[in-house]
Chain A
Amino acid sequence: MKNKTFVIIASILFSVGMIITISLLAYTYKLKDKASLTGVISTERVK
């Protein structure tokens, strides 16, 4: 694989991954204000 092709594919994959992660974090942060007492307690996942 040519270096140029590799850099382009890797950059696209990395950028898409970063965009999705940042969006998920932003969405999660927004949910913070709406989180309900029962929701937080009911869904906690600790073993």
Chain B
Amino acid sequence: MKKITTEDFIKYFLILFIPLFFILLNLSIYNGITRRLKNPYGEKVSAKSIELDAYLPFDENSRIVKIDADEKYKFNDGDVMPVLDGATALLPVYSAVFNSMYPESAFGFNGTDFTKESYLQKRNTAGAFKAIVDGSSDIVFCAEPSKKQLDFAKEHNVELTLVPIGYEAFVFIVNKNNPVDSLTVEQVKRIFSGEYKYWNEAGGDNYRISPVLRAEGSGSQTAMHAFMGDRKLLTKSNIFSGRAIGYSFRYYVEGIVSDTNIKMLALNGIEPTKENIKNKSYPVFSNFYAIYRSSDSDREDIKKVIDFVLSEKGQEIVEKSGYVGL
């Protein structure tokens, strides 16, 4: 039997070591970074945010609030009716308004999306905003438009009227294993302006803060700019490492919290509960609106929808859909 020399031993060791090294390296990259970006909750979260089927009007199994509008608010076949559109998160509200006021013939759904002819659409905040400017939609339900969106309307000589129809808490979210449960408004501003780099500066552990920003033009990002006031918001997310912190509206977050590892932070010690939003003790909230072209302000059909949403029954829809009424 041939004796293995030291040189051979080193060679065999290296041949085993090289693949082992790459396996460990790649596993570390995958677990540390790739997995975080791949988002195993993606499908579940998307399904919740765009579950159109669950919020259709005139559907027995729909999750929308079903309230019969008074006769004076109802549209009949052949009437001039405004096209309703808006943000995904507000679909339960405007679909319920549609269900209360419109005839079934005004609704069209092809199984995956609303038909072109339907008077109910859901183009999301950015899409709905463009649609109201180009005239494809008549009333959009969304959070406060961004400066860019308002400038876009101005460039197209469209003036918009924003009617507040309810409000919602703006919340900050972290992983449920993050030891921090509450931050002050000032601490949040310091995190998102880049002054705080580590969680221990805000009462947490010694991990780097990973602030996650949202897309410009989204309702959350516009609200975040308003929250920061004069402070400069970071321009880039740090999503590769550290303990993350992000922001959104309570209603959207609440729907997904139960299925993921996310928790909402209290602000100045106040939890973002519906009661605390209603009594305005939670410090950060913003209105959401029904928006229409100011040039249409004399349109009776538009006035009818706005009046209904602001009426007792309309506000009941807002409340029962999970938001906070005026």
Contact = CB atoms under 8 A, between A and B. Distances in A.
Does more than half of chain A's interface fall in helix, strand or loop, or is it mixed? helix
B29 A24 contact: yes
Contacts of A31: 34, 37-38
Interface residues of B, number: 45
B35 A43 contact: yes
B33 A28 contact: yes
Given A45-B32, A46-B242, A38 B15 contact: no
Given A13-B15, A38-B256, A45 B34 contact: no
Contact of A17 (B21, B34, B40): B21
Contact of A37 (B11, B19, B248): B248
B37 A21 contact: no
Nearest to A2: B11
Interface residues of A, number: 30
Nearest to B15: A9
A12 to B, nearest CB: 9
Contacts of A13: 15, 18-19, 22
Contacts of B22: 13, 16-18, 20-21
A38 B34 contact: no
Contacts of A39: 36-42, 45
Contacts of A46: 175, 177, 207, 242-243
Interface of A: 1, 6, 9-10, 13-14, 16-18, 20-21, 24-25, 27-28, 31-32, 34-46
Q: Which 10 A-B pairs have the closest CB atoms?
A: A39-B39, A17-B22, A31-B37, A37-B246, A35-B37, A42-B260, A13-B18, A28-B34, A6-B11, A41-B244
